[in-house]
């Protein structure tokens, strides 16, 4: 049987849109607290922006270049765009339908968002006008367009207001008298303007509405025939010729600046915009009709995250419990002593990320630590880990840090950290040419009474203390010698040209990991054919590698029972007779972003359990440095298996992928409500010491990064 038949696969981009629809369904779910629904709607907007700037832009690049190679589902780039255009327009309509419903609910809870400046009362209008004159007007720079002033550069993702003008006293109907101007809504000012409270009701209006109300003040000798907000998305996918770049850091800085000049791939304009204005924008920005989105509502719904942050509405928000202590490493304990007692499994965000921070912090101060080596892909804006690494170098330790400069949309942040670490005396590596280093590994080399001992942390998520409160991830702290040897080999490979002939425990991409995965899947296939116990259970962010999917199809056809938890993109189809009848795919979208990668292979009743930094995608398995590592300790192995089983048991946020490609929630009136995320919160509290930490609330909140193309 041909398991590579393109009819057996879903287009990657269409699958991503379905993922964003699942995020949108959280915003539409009335069981979700109101302000959490605002947050989810904001996330869908952020996701969509990134999708356009990277994925749609990439397809357009292929079309321009005459690239006609078909995708996993047998579609050429032009066909994929043709498929996506109506789907994306429909999705935007669903977003704004949801927005209008949330708007009414917010008003009923005491938060009124004034949508149009025409709706302001006389008193509120006076307040908005004073605010404009005192705070906004001095910042604005209106840009006219005429024979001596060309159409200005419109920055990527900036919010702007365009206006059609005619000089006072001239005939407004004659096209030759009509002039175009635009003004950027200043990002240095708050997007939300709070109006004076009225009868205990909080009222806000968006900055662009205040500007549009007063736009005549910017063009004193002109009449304003029409005005409207607009926003553009540009191609933001970096093209870096690493082989040609003498200084990778400088080359990436140059490419980041070019993002402001990339091809326009989406134009959003307020619905009802004067057709003359839209015609000018379409011509000057060189966009097609399919790229124009006329929005019945405010542009750029990411502002809803600011609405979410309004004080006084905690009853309509989730208050996440404070991450619980890791029982093996209570605060104030010696991390190295704890690790020597046995491997330690970490389950974030239910368990605190602090032990990982302490691992590096204590290593930095410990006189017996000789060296620290670590990879950094995405870190927080005020990273305690980066500060600890800098302190370690200043304390005279050998510190080597691989900072991945090509982490999409975190390039500038990582460049700043790299320079700071270099100034502190760290040896900073920028990764391997042509590859992103996405693995999460830290190695501490310590001198002890019985000789040199190596301590290792391996994880499925980033060394980011902020997102560790929002993303579900797993990690292991260990001083097992085989892992230590492998970790040393990893860093020797990253910093030089040393490529080990073999590995004790680790499987690395791009050279070994995919081969290992395919071998493990084939072993289960052969076991099923021989009548032995077989099975595969796996969790990941995305699944679109054609070789892996074909191997799963073959395993299914042999009788292997396969359960997959895929949060985002899934190009595999379920329920194909003789091909995927034994494959069941689920997705969980909930309060926390499901980010961990767990792979379990039955192995004839002797299960093998792995954690990894890699999804089952070509980019992860073939174009990145990734690590898959086994969970060897029997107790920890059982715990990981149980964690995955409980996720499959979820009937609140888990959705089932149907053969039609749609997802549904398997709710039953008879089944007791079970949310795995809520259960893990309670279980972490119990593990911390018979409930110690239960009920403790943490008021700090973090804005989640877009999950559109996560990592």
Contact 517, 548 (CB under 8 A): yes
Of 345, 338, 339, 327, the C-alpha closest to 636 is: 345
Contact 589, 663 (CB under 8 A): no
Q: 685 is written with which tokens?
A: 């509290």
Catalytic residues: 438
Question: Which single residue is written with the structure tokens 């990668």?
Answer: 597
Strand pairing class (192-198; 111-114): unpaired
Q: 217 is written with which tokens?
A: 């003040």
Of 474, 468, 458, 461, the C-alpha closest to 323 is: 468
Q: What are the φ and ψ backbone dihedral angles of 411, each rounded to 5 degrees? A: -60, -50
Give DSSP secondary structure letters for 326-338: PTTS-TTS-HHHH
**Which residues does 45 contact at the CB level (< 8 Å), separation at least 6?**
95, 300, 301, 302, 304
Of 516, 529, 528, the C-alpha closest to 608 is: 516
Distance CA 570, CA 564 (A): 10
For the sheet containing 111-114, what is the strand order? 111-114, 201-206, 192-198
Phi-psi region at 593: left, alpha or beta (left = phi > 0; alpha = psi -120 to 50): beta
Question: Which single residue is written with the structure tokens 């969970």?
Answer: 631
- Helix (H) or strand (E) holding 231, with range, is strand 222-234
Of 60, 76, 64, the C-alpha closest to 6 is: 76
Contact 29, 102 (CB under 8 A): no
The DSSP code for 70 is -
Q: Residue 324: is it exposed, middle or buried by C-beta count within 10 angstroms (0-12/13-18/19+)? A: buried
Q: What are the φ and ψ backbone dihedral angles of 195, each rounded to 5 degrees? A: -85, 160
The DSSP code for 596 is -
Give the CA distances from residue 389 to residues 179, 417, 422, 666, in Å, rounded to whole numbers and listed in that order.
Answer: 57, 11, 11, 47
Distance CA 403, CA 406 (A): 9
Q: What are the φ and ψ backbone dihedral angles of 653, each rounded to 5 degrees? A: -115, -10
Contact 591, 36 (CB under 8 A): yes
């Amino acid at each position: 049987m041909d398991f590579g038949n393109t009819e057996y696969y879903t287009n990657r981009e269409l699958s991503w849109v379905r993922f964003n629809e699942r995020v949108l369904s959280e915003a539409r779910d009335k069981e979700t607290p109101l302000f959490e629904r605002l947050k989810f709607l904001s996330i869908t907007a952020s996701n969509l922006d990134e999708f356009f700037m990277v994925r749609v832009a990439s397809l357009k690049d292929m079309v321009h270049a005459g690239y006609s190679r078909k995708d996993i589902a047998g579609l050429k780039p032009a066909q994929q765009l043709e498929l996506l255009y109506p789907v994306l327009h429909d999705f935007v309509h669903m977003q704004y339908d949801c927005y209008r419903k949330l708007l009414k609910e917010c008003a009923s809870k005491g938060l009124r968002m004034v949508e149009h400046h025409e709706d302001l009362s006389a008193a509120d209008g006076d307040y908005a006008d004073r605010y404009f004159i005192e705070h906004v007007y001095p910042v604005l720079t209106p840009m006219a367009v005429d024979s001596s002033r060309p159409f200005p550069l419109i920055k990527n993702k900036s919010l702007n207001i365009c206006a059609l003008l005619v000089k006072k006293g001239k005939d407004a109907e004659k096209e030759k008298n009509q002039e175009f101007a635009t003004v950027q809504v200043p990002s240095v000012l708050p997007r939300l303007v709070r109006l004076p409270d009225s009868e205990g009701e909080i009222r806000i209006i968006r900055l662009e509405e205040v500007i549009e109300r007063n736009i005549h003040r910017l063009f004193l000798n002109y009449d304003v025939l029409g005005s409207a907000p607009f926003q553009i998305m540009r191609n933001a996918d970096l093209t870096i010729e690493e082989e040609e770049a003498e200084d990778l850091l400088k080359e990436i800085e140059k490419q980041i600046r070019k993002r402001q000049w990339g091809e326009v791939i989406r134009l959003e304009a307020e619905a009802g915009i004067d057709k003359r204005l839209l015609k000018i924008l379409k011509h000057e920005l060189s966009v097609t009709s399919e790229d124009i989105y006329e929005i019945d509502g405010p542009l750029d719904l990411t502002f809803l995250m600011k609405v979410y942050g309004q004080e006084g509405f905690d009853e309509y928000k989730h208050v996440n419990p404070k991450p619980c202590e890791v029982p093996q490493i209570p605060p104030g304990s010696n991390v190295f002593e704890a690790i020597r007692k046995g491997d330690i499994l970490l389950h974030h965000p239910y368990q605190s990320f602090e032990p990982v921070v302490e691992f590096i912090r204590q290593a930095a101060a410990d006189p017996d630590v000789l060296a620290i080596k670590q990879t950094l892909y995405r870190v927080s804006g005020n990273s305690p880990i980066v500060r600890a690494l800098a302190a370690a170098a200043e304390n005279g330790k050998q510190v080597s840090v691989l900072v991945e400069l090509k982490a999409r949309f975190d390039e500038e942040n990582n460049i700043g950290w790299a320079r700071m670490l270099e100034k502190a005396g760290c040896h900073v590596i920028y990764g391997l040419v042509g590859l992103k280093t996405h693995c999460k590994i830290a190695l501490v080399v310590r001198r002890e009474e019985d000789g040199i001992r190596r301590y290792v942390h391996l994880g499925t998520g980033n060394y980011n203390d902020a997102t560790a409160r929002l993303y579900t991830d797993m990690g292991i702290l260990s001083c097992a010698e085989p892992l230590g040897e492998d970790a040393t080999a990893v860093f020797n490979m990253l910093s030089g040209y040393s490529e080990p002939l073999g590995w004790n425990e680790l499987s690395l991409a791009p050279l070994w990991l995919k081969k290992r995965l395919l071998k493990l899947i084939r072993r289960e296939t052969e076991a099923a054919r021989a009548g032995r116990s077989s099975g595969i259970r796996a969790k990941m962010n995305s699944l679109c590698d054609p070789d892996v999917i074909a191997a799963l199809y073959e395993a299914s056809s042999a009788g292997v029972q396969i359960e997959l938890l895929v949060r985002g993109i899934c190009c595999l189809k379920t329920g194909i007779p003789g091909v995927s009848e034994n494959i069941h795919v689920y997705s969980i979208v909930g309060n926390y972003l499901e980010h961990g990668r767990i792979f379990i292979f039955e192995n004839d009743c002797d299960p093998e359990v792995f954690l990894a930094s890699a999804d089952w995608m070509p980019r992860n398995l073939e174009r990145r440095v990734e690590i898959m590592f086994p969970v060897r300790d029997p107790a920890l192995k059982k715990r990981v298996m149980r964690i995955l089983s409980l996720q499959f048991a979820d009937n609140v946020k888990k959705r089932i992928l149907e053969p039609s490609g749609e997802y549904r929630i398997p709710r039953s009136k008879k089944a007791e409500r079970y949310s795995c995320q809520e259960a893990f919160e309670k279980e972490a509290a119990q593990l911390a010491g018979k409930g110690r930490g239960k009920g403790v609330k943490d008021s700090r909140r973090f804005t989640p990064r877009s999950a559109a193309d996560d990592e």
